[in-house]
Chains A and B, each alone.
Chain A
Amino acid sequence: MANPNIYYSLIRRPLVTEKSTAMQELRNQFTFEVAPEANKSEVKKAIETLFKVKVEAVNIVNLPGKTRKTFGRPGETPSWKKAIVTLRKGDSIEVA
């Protein structure tokens, strides 16, 4: 079994928003910000190892950065990767 510490760098933070909360309640789906290099199988392994749950599916969404002006100069926020993890019925992750 791989060192669980490497998973901490893959799974950056849970996303707690109105939409993600609704998805938890409706479909048992939990949303995380993950490392840009992470893929579905790595996310699945990481979530199962770190939270001791069974992952049924992982959906990945790449979110491009947004242009932002800082002190009048154009800039860009970094692009990032979001993983929507569907858990087996009955499993749950405390993300509040």
Chain B
Amino acid sequence: MQVQVAETGPCSRTLSIQLPPNSVQEHLDELFSSATKQAQRKGFRPGKVPRKFIEKHHGPEILREAKEQLVNSAFNEACRQQELTPVGRVRIDDFEQLEVKPGASFEFKVMLDVRPKFDLKETKGLKVDTFEAEANDTDVDNALNEIANQKRAIKSVTEPAKDGDFVKADLLFVDAGGAVVLERKGTQLNTRIPIAGSDAGTFATALTGAEKGQQVEVPVTFPENFEKDSYRGTQGMAKITVHEVLRVLPAPIDDSMAKLLDFESLDALRLDLKSRIAQEKVRAGKARQEDQCLEQLVAAHDFPLPASLIEEQQEAALQNFAERMKQKGMAKDEIDKKLEESKDEANQDGQRRVRLFFLIEAIARQQKLFVTETDVNSEIQNLALANNASPEQVVEHLEKNKQLGELRLAILERKVRNFLRDSATIVDKQTK
């Protein structure tokens, strides 16, 4: 096999591979002989169908299969020979037009990207900001207010109705002459939702400030779906007698709210929140420090990147973006427009990700950080616990979606981030 390597860019190579006629023929013979052994045809014992029949009936498919196998095996062999490690997409020049001919040599060209070569600069002592690891009373109060807001309920109040309040009222519709048209008792109304046929502003003004026992009047034009056919489209008045003012109120922050959340008292809840907030602050603070380290490294390393990897990242990001917009119910034209606008940003983001990937890989190599089977197993256990599944189910899912490699990569990234943070220098004592 003859291989010629052309350097077509800092990270791209073109391999011209030529297979001699005898190795092509050998491979074809192997394929035909294996097909002959498997072939079944009426009139022949299994495995006794002559090769000429196989060539005539299955020749094109076998030649196609031979082409794929020859390209794969020759490409892998060429990479081994030339000590090349391809990354990203491998493109075969005119693959569809390539033809394997018995007794003839087989030539093809492969365009591939390779890992960039760069010198890793200092990774220890990167400057990071300190962070606050304790939760203060304001944090706890904010968290309690948020919980109280989540547990809000509709309650009766003695005050006049405010904007957004509900009222329980009797409705009396009268015509322009003052004659009763229709009565509805015990209706629940909201100041922001006008009754059919009334003006929203007039309705809100009339109802806001109304107290229990008070009657307010709102002019209406009886709507097209009004119960009484003869009044539809005519002018009238809605007389609203308020019986009760209802308001959505947050839950009171006291022991009762704590008990709702399975805590003995408000103090116990505050203590738990304090510890959780502190944990979250530490986690966020560490992540921020790691990001700072990585940003400094990205800024300090300017090396050429494999174009195909950036394209892959860009495409994945755009696809993800399109998927999210589609779920939001956006129209196709609008999605296409947004995608076009986001292309540059996705490309920049892709470049950053690819650069980070190579940096993380280089740091791991330099610091001899490896992902062991124990790491993978413990991660699988954690995933199983988090998802309420068995470790076997998690492994099956990961294998099915070909995500085991990604899992290893995520573990490696975490190890590198930990290393960078642990060996960083804290320069700013100012809390964030």
Q: Which residue of chain A lies nearest to B48 when distances are taken between CB atoms in the complex?
A: A18
Chain A min CB distance to B414 (Å): 62
* Number of A-B contacts defined by CB within 8 Å: 17
A52 CB, min distance to chain B CBs, angstroms: 20
Chain B: residues with CB nearer than 8 A to chain A? 43-45, 48, 50, 52-53, 56-57
| A residues neighboring B (CB under 8 Å) | 15-18, 20-21, 96
Contact B43 A16 (CB under 8 A): yes
A16 nearest CB neighbor, chain B only: B43
In the complex, residue of chain A having the shortest beta-carbon distance to the beta carbon of B56? A96
A17 to B45, CA, bound (A): 9
B-side contacts of A96, CB under 8 Å: 52-53, 56-57
Q: How far is the CB of A12 from chain B (nearest CB, A)?
A: 15
Closest to B45 in A: A18
Using Cβ atoms and an 8 Å threshold, which residues of chain A touch B45?
18
How far apart sit A41 and B69, CA to CA, in the bound complex (Å)?
A: 52
Pick 8 A–B contacts, CB within 8 A, sort by A.
A17-B43, A18-B44, A18-B45, A20-B43, A21-B50, A21-B53, A96-B53, A96-B57
Give the residue name and chain of the A residue nearest to B49 (CB).
A18
B56-A18 in contact (CB<8A): no
- On whether the beta carbons of B53 and A15 are closer than 8 Å, the reply is no
Query: Which residues does chain A contribute within 8 Å of B48, judged by CB atoms?
Result: 18
Alpha-carbon separation in the docked complex, A16 to B43 (Å): 7
In the bound complex, how far is the Cα of B43 from the Cα of A75, in angstroms? 23
Smallest Cβ-Cβ distance to A20: which chain B residue: B43
Contacts of A21 in B (CB 8 A): 44, 50, 53
In the assembled complex, which residues on chain B have CB atoms less than 8 Å from the CB atom of A16? 43, 53
Chain A residues in 8 Å Cβ range of B53: 16, 21, 96
The CA-CA distance from A85 to B48 in the complex, in Å, is 23
Question: Shortest beta-carbon distance, B37 to chain A, in Å?
Answer: 15
Q: Which residues of A contact B50 (CB under 8 A)?
A: 21
Question: In angstroms, how far is the closest chain B Cβ from the Cβ of A68?
Answer: 17
Determine if A18 and B52 form an interchain contact, defined as CB atoms under 8 angstroms apart: no
Please state if A15 and B43 are interface contacts (CB–CB under 8 Å).
Answer: yes
Given contacts A20-B43, A96-B57, 7 further A-B contacts (CB under 8 A): A16-B43, A17-B43, A17-B44, A18-B44, A18-B45, A18-B48, A21-B44
| A-B interface, 9 closest residue pairs, ranked by CB to CB distance from nearest | A17-B43, A18-B44, A96-B56, A96-B53, A18-B48, A21-B50, A16-B43, A18-B45, A96-B52
CA distance A47 to B44 in the complex (A): 25
* Min CB–CB distance B49 → chain A (angstroms): 8
